[in-house]
Chains A and B, each alone.
Chain A
């Protein structure tokens, strides 16, 4: 994690540190996943926390709709006394903290819209919104996202997770051709 610019002293802001060797980052991630399995008997996740938060909002805004809907009830009845006192919610709060910590150490925390040179900020936001919505729909149909299914399910050799993982890559590569100008 040392770069030539690390040694620069004085007032000039230092450049972000280079990313970690992907294999070392992968081993680190794999050990965190293993720790989760050894401590809890379950893997990592992300989309479930979004669902819990969404269910709580729906439950507050439209209690009658939420009461008669098994999707929302599934999340509203989970948790240690409260639907937000749920394992994945706390795990995702940890992800927020861990990501920030790493970003600070590597000097990568910066308020920015990441986009290609040929796309407007509004265009990038529109794509992000559509992509996020598709992600939410896909993750709920598949009962998990890249964290819960592909990574965690992949490591315990779940057949459905491996089918899911192949399809994620297939879908992503299939869409890439149409979006090849987004980042150029």
Chain B
């Protein structure tokens, strides 16, 4: 009865497919743009739980251990300005400015450790990557200042400190020397101010250790084209 129905019934398979394509194409024209990347969604409760549980931190000591052990299963991102980066950087770090973060070739299947001078930029970058659904993003606790304070120039415990604390310090001092720093003595008014950062090229790790079994090999080129 209905004339459009009759018309449709007379079309062959190919013509019906063409009609479907035309309708979908017209729908696309009506929709216009598809947001790709710019606008994001956040699961605020999940993020709050991560922040609350402090699951998003890597302490400077942990990071130092990773570097000394030669682990290659993470990427260390320095968010500071280029001149600061040139003056000093944590060994293995690569510099990425926050606006370039999403185009820096970071992959969602790798562990990403962020640091800035003290931590504000790292926290902002953490939020940005989390919003783009990067699952494994961590902040270096205390930023570069924390690295300086705890790894490069650990404070020697007072003379009557327990044995365990002194033993831990011996190791910390060893690691500090690896990275070109060294221990500093405690004073009555707390720790002395940390000395300036080592200069100018970051010192090489004295004894690079073979990566532990199970660690991924150093990042290889990932091809996606022909």
Contacts and interface: CB of A to CB of B under 8 A. Distances in A.
Whether the complex brings A and B within 8 Å at their CB atoms is answered yes
Interface of A: 21, 23, 27, 41-42, 45-48, 51, 74-75, 77-79, 81, 86-88, 139, 143-145, 147-149
Contacts of B224: 41-42
Given A21-B14, A23-B14, A78 B222 contact: yes
A180 B13 CA distance: 34
Q: Among B14, B222, B226, which residue has the most Cβ atoms of chain A within 10 A?
A: B226
Contacts of A139: 226
A45 B123 CA distance: 40
B171 interface: no
Interface in B203-222: 217, 220-222
Contacts of A145: 226
B39 interface: no
Nearest to B220: A77
A45 B17 CA distance: 27
A3 to B, nearest CB: 17
Interface residues of B, number: 11
A143 B226 contact: yes
Given A21-B13, A23-B14, A23-B17, A148 B220 contact: no
A78 B223 contact: yes
Contacts of A79: 220
Contacts of B13: 21
A139 to B, nearest CB: 7
B14 A81 contact: no
Nearest to A142: B226
- Summarize B's interface: helix, strand, loop or mixed: loop
A77 B226 contact: no
B223 A87 contact: yes
A48 B14 contact: no
A46 to B, nearest CB: 7
A48 B221 CA distance: 14
A137 B68 CA distance: 46
A77 B225 contact: no
Contacts of A144: 225-226
Contact of B226 (A23, A41, A51): A51
Nearest to A76: B221
A45 B221 contact: no
B226 A88 contact: yes
A78 B225 contact: no
A149 B226 contact: yes
A78 B221 contact: yes
9 nearest CB pairs, A to B = A48-B226, A148-B226, A144-B226, A78-B223, A45-B226, A77-B221, A47-B226, A42-B224, A78-B221
Contacts of A88: 223, 226
A160 B191 CA distance: 60
A148 B14 contact: no
A78 B225 CA distance: 12
A184 to B, nearest CB: 29
B203 to A, nearest CB: 28
A18 B225 CA distance: 34
B223 A86 contact: yes
A56 to B, nearest CB: 14
Contact of B225 (A23, A27, A41, A45): A45
24 contacts: A21-B14, A23-B14, A41-B224, A42-B224, A45-B225, A46-B226, A48-B223, A48-B226, A51-B226, A74-B221, A75-B223, A77-B220, A77-B221, A78-B220, A78-B223, A86-B223, A87-B223, A88-B226, A143-B225, A144-B225, A145-B226, A147-B226, A148-B225, A149-B226
B15 to A, nearest CB: 10
B27 to A, nearest CB: 17
Interface string B95-135: 00000000000000000000000000000000000000000
